[in-house]
Chain A
Amino acid sequence: MRRLVGQSIRRTEDARLLTGRAQFVDDVRLPMMAHAAFLRSEHAHARLRGVDLARARQRPGVIAAFAAPDLGDYWQPGPLLVPPPPIAGLVFHAATQVPLAREKVRYVGEPIAVVIAESRYIAEDALADIVVDLEPLPAVVDLEAALAPGAPRIHDQLDSNLAAHVVQAKGDYAKARAKAHRVIARRFHYDRGIAGAIENRAVVASWDQIAGEMTIWDTTQAPIPIRNGLARMLGLSESQVRVIAPFVGGGFGPKIMMFYPEEVVIPWVARTVGRPVKWVEDRRENFAATTQERGQIHDSEIALAKDGRILGVRDVFLHDTGAYDPYGLTVPINSQCTLLGPYAVPNYSSEFRAVFTTKPIVTPVRGAGRQHGVFVMERLLDIAARELGMDRVEIRRRNFLRPRDFPHDHKIIFQDFQPLVYDSGDYEPAMARAVEMIGYDRFVREEQPRLRAAGRHVGLGIVSYIEGTGIGPYEGARVTVEPSGHVRLATGVGTQGQGHFTSFAQVVADQLGVETSDVSVVTGDTQAFGWGTGTFASRGAVVAGSACHEAAVAVRQKALTLAAKLLGVKEARLAVGGGRIFVRDDPQRGLTLGELAQRSNPLRGAVVPGSEPGLEATKYFGPARGSTASGVHAMIVEVETETAQVTIQRYVVVHDCGVQLNPMIVEGQIQGGVAAGIGNAFYEQLVFDDGGQLLNASLMDYLMPTALDVPTVEMAHVETPSPLNPLGAKGVGEAGAIPTGAAFAQAVEDALAGSGVEITEIPLSPGRLFTLMAEAKQGGAGAQAAAPAAGGRALIIDGRYDFAGPPREVYSLLLDPAVLASVMPGAQRLERFGDRYVGELKVGVGPISAATFTLEVDLTDQVVGERYAMRVNARGRLGFVAGSAKVALAPGAGGIGTAMTYRAELQLGGTIAAVGQRMLDSMSKVMSAQGLKALDKALDKALDKALRARRGGAA
């Protein structure tokens, strides 16, 4: 009955999307609609002492403004979405996000207040009217420092920043290690990124007071759980709340997160102000307020036999969960489980600690931690191959699980709470195909040596991976044949571009003997279908697809039963096709599905007991456990060693996702996944400084790959159908993105073979690669490079300056408020009150308008004529500058003049930190140079004056 399933049917949703007529959330227009903007924390960690909304509320065009206390009982921490799985000895501390910050803010971007206005423009104007009293606390950025004794605590109710501690093991690693021929140990870093959907998040809520109905349009991947949760929070029944996830412009994980503060606040606001309210996340907010993923540090070991067989693996890692952990342990458990890959690993010891940091919340992003595990395992195997003098393909082959090993129980628990059991797979053919497609043997034997001799550095990477996909609990679908013969299919999962409208229609059309275009699909509207979980974990096609199949099978059966009765023939003699049910050996005799639909819903007579009216069925499907997809990625890169530029010349994917519902869509998913993986490997990195400020919160500085950066992937497929669902399908949505970093690292390392560069971190960048190459050159071959710089940097201004005058003179001048004001670029006025200076600073450069900062400087540690320190605090609309400076004076060379050394460490926050970093280094240089020049001038003038005064006195 596979007529359409397996065909590359063109997508039915495309015409709407291509003509700009598909509705996305921001396209919703309602009468009287108001617009929301959120005030967000500029500090990564601070105590919130108060929020003053009075001025904002008075601004013309502002309808209302709310902070946490205004929410009353509605203010509740969000639910724990995924409780920890049943693993012995597991430690888990839940700390879930809150709608608006109340006592504390815990990451830059955490919402503090919301303004509702006639337009988004006015709402943003009013944000500047809000006065927030924050007492900054030290940020927690580095994972190891976060767990150190005495580290600042993010959640006061917890003893430390430990969110979870999980140990899983099989066999006896210590014993295996003792017997090993070789043990290889390394530390691996895998840093943060964003999902980067081009559509940011959005919520529109409309409360119908008369009907008592709340309608919410939401860019969510999980409309049904959102409805259920919001109904509970709002004190409404589920039938009073309708959540619609219309066309969604890319999900990739973060849109499954629930409940975002905005998702909770906007419906409440709509009901409170009595008008529909729209909030659309802007890109700047997206970098702070949408969940992110990745930061992990692994200390890993592999124990090997002489022939390259894996005896055991030990992996201890830290996982950055961000400020809250509503998504439980899904991501680190994925890392833990996926590390095992397609290999027979008899002994495994894995331990991780999830760590709270003052950074945005971490939840799954395409791959959801799987790439970390793959990166660790594949890198260990590469290094093992090198050290054992083995071929890197061979070492993988020797360790592959064989077809007879399935189902294979790894004896640890997966993210779906089920034992990690691979249902099916055959890894050798995929590897063989990839080796052939990329031309591995010829490349290694001929191509690479030839190019190397010509001074070119080309390298090949080839890695394997598996992906646990299509997990439960369940999805459902309802198939209805209308009297017109048209088929309606409703299912609960939302869709974000995966082609569900088409692939689900294919599944149903096959059963009902109609065409794909005869089936209209509704997804993501709780009014159309109200049971289900959502689109995540590469499960849409597998789980919802199977539910569609089951419902279609049931409708088919109903139609057959009815047709048999009406035609007076045995069911066995009937056939389905062309939108009809007909007698197989007398095709003229039959009924259309439309006729059957009509006849099944009679106005007279009786529906036979035990049957149901209508050609309609609702079915649910819940897989026993996830199905295991797998594949091999191979790539060839060229590294230009002078400039550290890397170009990807070829990219090959051989993939096994079981039965493909629509190969065109499958290949699109893989190509897109690889693009995301390439971004992750070489372009995209969220750079946080030591103060927890994200320094590249824009698409100018956060580099998503463009059409010039992503090659066209050459693809082949292996098909081992999953026995766990009626379609034989496995998930494919995330696969492309999972092994890319590992393949890239191997390829770059291979291109630089002999240079001593070993890649143990993702993402790379040309700048980082340049540093690694320079370090390898210095340290000699084989030295493991220093860890990537942690955290990032506060702004540091330091230097030395020689003045003509004596130290005492310089010292008193430096502390003279008038002089200080004249040397501080942009200082408007400065007054001294004891050891405190208070004033105003107006600075701007280039595109940054001169912005006013209120300035407070406190003097400490003064030793007259020798040294002093300052604490600096400046705040303005563009953000804040805070930090300390130390100044020391000493007699200059030969006792003439004064040598001043200075060092200021400044923390910047807010917009200037987020999008201005490109200018900061130059700007600080320019400003300190300006200041010093002015100081020199002031000093000259003062000395001159003193000298003249002395002369005058003498006269």
Chain B
Amino acid sequence: MKPAAFIFHRAATLDDALALLADHPEAKPLAGGQSLIPAMNFRLAHPAALVDLNGVRELAGIAATADGGLRIGAMTRHLAVERSDLVRQRSPLLAETMPHVAHPQIRSRGTIGGSLAHADPSAELPAVMIALDARFQLRARGADRWVRATDFFTGLFATALAPGELLTAIEIPSRAARAGSAFLEVARRHGDYALAGVAVELSLDAAGRISRAWIALLSVGDGPVLTAASGSLVGQDASAANILATAELVRAEVDPPSDIHADAAYRRQLAAVLTRRALTIAAERARTA
């Protein structure tokens, strides 16, 4: 299990990286490499060239945005996000999710941007970014645009990234005053790709009714799934009955794949149960926020 040969480019700056990607259309960006390198070791992936982004300092870092949100550089390692007090304060959902991502030795190397650009339908972070309504900055040589997370994930391992384009930063909007969130997943073993999982971010209005509820699921479709059922809760009380009804909508809505670990029926059940539980937790957290 040794990788095939490739041409190695080391980028020192973002401009450098964008230029290398523009000049070498056959090159793939190398972020943390925790998904790409195993695929290369199996020789499932054999890119002709890699542009290593690990030396690009300006792509790493977590900062507060003026509106109370967060800006996370794409090359920020999972571990840095996990350890960040700022993330804990401003995005409890993201903070709560981090320990579910693989194992400590993967998180020390893996990057936020790498996970998102990889767009694995079973990965935690794409669903979380959707639930948070995050937006992503995509840069190419001479180009710079922002894309909402909901528009970024376009299918199975597919994203809105154009050739030569790089995901450079993630911005998470500020939370409402009475917000609550929860992340739950069922995996065979801790750190495995989840059989199903859900990220919920909701907020309550002054009257205690749900003013926003974003429910995003993982491992039940081609990519992260923002449920249509999310909308059904808005304007409602976060009562057990309403939550249960939403969970049942999710059960009916999802069309999960079958694999050797879980068939579609089991995944559908998990999606419904986890949605119910996550909504209950998130609503409770919002009430006491």
Q: Which residues on A are within 8 Å of B, measured CB to CB?
A: 120-121, 124-125, 282-284, 642-645, 683, 687, 695-696, 698, 700-701, 703, 705-706, 708-709, 765-767, 770-771, 774, 792, 845-849, 877-878, 911-912, 915-923, 925-926
Cβ contact within 8 Å between B222 and A708:
no
Nearest 5 Cβ contacts at the A-B interface:
A846-B157, A847-B39, A921-B257, A282-B1, A121-B2
A696 to B261, CA, bound (A): 10
Q: Which residues of A contact B4 (CB under 8 A)?
A: 125
Contact with B44, one of A767, A770, A848 (Cβ below 8 angstroms): A848
Given A283-B1, A645-B186, A845-B157: A771 in contact with B222 (beta carbons within 8 A): no
Cβ contact within 8 Å between B118 and A847:
yes
Cβ contact within 8 Å between B43 and A877:
yes
- Distance in Å from the Cβ of B174 to the closest Cβ of chain A? 32
Task: Find the B residue at minimum CB distance from A701.
Answer: B260
Does chain A have a CB within 8 A of B269?
yes
Can you sample 19 A-B contacts with CB below 8 Å?
A120-B2, A125-B5, A643-B186, A700-B192, A701-B261, A766-B188, A766-B266, A767-B263, A770-B265, A770-B266, A774-B265, A792-B260, A846-B119, A847-B35, A847-B45, A849-B44, A912-B44, A921-B259, A925-B257
A695 to B258, CA, bound (A): 13
- Distance in Å from the Cβ of B196 to the closest Cβ of chain A? 9
A706 to B105, CA, bound (A): 15
A284 to B258, CA, bound (A): 23
- Distance in Å from the Cβ of B279 to the closest Cβ of chain A? 15
Contact with B36, one of A120, A708, A847 (Cβ below 8 angstroms): A847
Most buried by B among A282, A703, A918: A918
**Interface members, chain B 184-217 (any A CB < 8 Å):** 186, 188-193, 195
**Interface members, chain B 247-273 (any A CB < 8 Å):** 257-263, 265-266, 269-270, 273
- Distance in Å from the Cβ of B184 to the closest Cβ of chain A? 10
Residue pairs across A and B with CB atoms within 8 Å: the count is 117
- Distance in Å from the Cβ of A771 to the closest Cβ of chain B? 7
Cβ contact within 8 Å between A918 and B193:
yes
Most buried by B among A701, A766, A846, A916: A846
Q: Which residues of B contact A878 (CB under 8 A)?
A: 43-44
- Distance in Å from the Cβ of B256 to the closest Cβ of chain A? 9
Contact with A921, one of B46, B119, B189, B258 (Cβ below 8 angstroms): B258
Most buried by B among A696, A847, A911, A926: A847
- Distance in Å from the Cβ of B267 to the closest Cβ of chain A? 9
- Distance in Å from the Cβ of A590 to the closest Cβ of chain B? 57
Cβ contact within 8 Å between A846 and B118:
yes
Which size class do B's interface residues fall under?
Answer: 35 or more
Does chain A have a CB within 8 A of B47?
yes
Most buried by B among A644, A696, A922: A922
Q: Which residues of A contact B257 (CB under 8 A)?
A: 921-922, 925
A770 to B263, CA, bound (A): 10
Q: Which residues of A contact B222 (CB under 8 A)?
A: 922, 925-926
Most buried by A among B120, B122, B266: B266
A683 to B192, CA, bound (A): 12
Cβ contact within 8 Å between B46 and A847:
no
Given A644-B266, A766-B188, A771-B266: A911 in contact with B43 (beta carbons within 8 A): yes
Given A922-B156, A925-B222: A683 in contact with B1 (beta carbons within 8 A): no
Does chain A have a CB within 8 A of B42?
yes
Q: Which residues of A contact B265 (CB under 8 A)?
A: 770-771, 774
Cβ contact within 8 Å between A703 and B2:
no
Q: Which residues of A contact B189 (CB under 8 A)?
A: 683, 703, 705-706, 708-709
A919 to B195, CA, bound (A): 13
A847 to B122, CA, bound (A): 13
Cβ contact within 8 Å between A767 and B121:
no
Q: Which residues of A contact B43 (CB under 8 A)?
A: 124, 877-878, 911
A608 to B256, CA, bound (A): 85
Q: Which residues of A contact B261 (CB under 8 A)?
A: 701, 765, 767
Does chain A have a CB within 8 A of B104?
no
Cβ contact within 8 Å between A919 and B156:
yes
A562 to B263, CA, bound (A): 75
Task: Find the B residue at minimum CB distance from A285.
Answer: B1
DSSP majority for the B interface? loop
Cβ contact within 8 Å between B42 and A284:
yes
- Distance in Å from the Cβ of B25 to the closest Cβ of chain A? 13
Contact with B263, one of A121, A642, A696, A771 (Cβ below 8 angstroms): A771
Q: Which residues of B contact A124 (CB under 8 A)?
A: 1-2, 43
- Distance in Å from the Cβ of A129 to the closest Cβ of chain B? 12
Does chain A have a CB within 8 A of B155?
yes
Q: Which residues of B contact A125 (CB under 8 A)?
A: 4-5
Contact with A918, one of B42, B47, B259 (Cβ below 8 angstroms): B259
Q: Which residues of B contact A916 (CB under 8 A)?
A: 44
Cβ contact within 8 Å between A706 and B36:
no
Cβ contact within 8 Å between A918 and B36:
no
A767-B195, A849-B47 given; 6 more Cβ-contact pairs under 8 Å: A124-B2, A643-B269, A687-B260, A847-B35, A915-B44, A917-B260
- Distance in Å from the Cβ of B192 to the closest Cβ of chain A? 7
Q: Which residues of B contact A282 (CB under 8 A)?
A: 1
Q: Which residues of B contact A643 (CB under 8 A)?
A: 186, 269-270, 273-274
Cβ contact within 8 Å between B119 and A767:
no
Q: Which residues of B contact A921 (CB under 8 A)?
A: 257-259
Cβ contact within 8 Å between B270 and A696:
no
Cβ contact within 8 Å between B155 and A926:
yes
- Distance in Å from the Cβ of A947 to the closest Cβ of chain B? 33
Q: Which residues of B contact A767 (CB under 8 A)?
A: 195, 261-263, 266
Cβ contact within 8 Å between A284 and B1:
yes
Q: Which residues of A contact B259 (CB under 8 A)?
A: 917-918, 920-921
A845 to B45, CA, bound (A): 10
Q: Which residues of A contact B258 (CB under 8 A)?
A: 921
Q: Which residues of B contact A121 (CB under 8 A)?
A: 2-3, 5
Q: Which residues of A contact B263 (CB under 8 A)?
A: 767, 771
Given A771-B266, A925-B222, A926-B155: A683 in contact with B188 (beta carbons within 8 A): yes
- Distance in Å from the Cβ of B89 to the closest Cβ of chain A? 29
Most buried by B among A770, A792, A878: A770
Q: Which residues of A contact B191 (CB under 8 A)?
A: 706
A696 to B259, CA, bound (A): 10
Q: Which residues of A contact B118 (CB under 8 A)?
A: 846-847
**Interface members, chain B 77-123 (any A CB < 8 Å):** 118-122
Task: Find the B residue at minimum CB distance from A709.
Answer: B189
Task: Find the B residue at minimum CB distance from A920.
Answer: B259
Cβ contact within 8 Å between A911 and B120:
no
- Distance in Å from the Cβ of B70 to the closest Cβ of chain A? 27
Task: Find the B residue at minimum CB distance from A921.
Answer: B257
A926 to B119, CA, bound (A): 15
A709 to B189, CA, bound (A): 7
- Distance in Å from the Cβ of B125 to the closest Cβ of chain A? 15
Q: Which residues of B contact A912 (CB under 8 A)?
A: 44
Q: Which residues of B contact A700 (CB under 8 A)?
A: 192-193
Q: Which residues of A contact B1 (CB under 8 A)?
A: 124, 282-284
What sequence of 0s and 1s flags, for each residue 1-38 of chain B, a beta carbon within 8 Å of any chain A beta carbon? 11111000000000000000000000000000001100
Cβ contact within 8 Å between B260 and A696:
yes
A771 to B3, CA, bound (A): 40
- Distance in Å from the Cβ of A848 to the closest Cβ of chain B? 5
Cβ contact within 8 Å between B266 and A847:
no
A923 to B47, CA, bound (A): 20
A687 to B259, CA, bound (A): 11
Q: Which residues of B contact A917 (CB under 8 A)?
A: 259-260
Contact with B273, one of A284, A642, A771, A774 (Cβ below 8 angstroms): A642
A608 to B3, CA, bound (A): 67
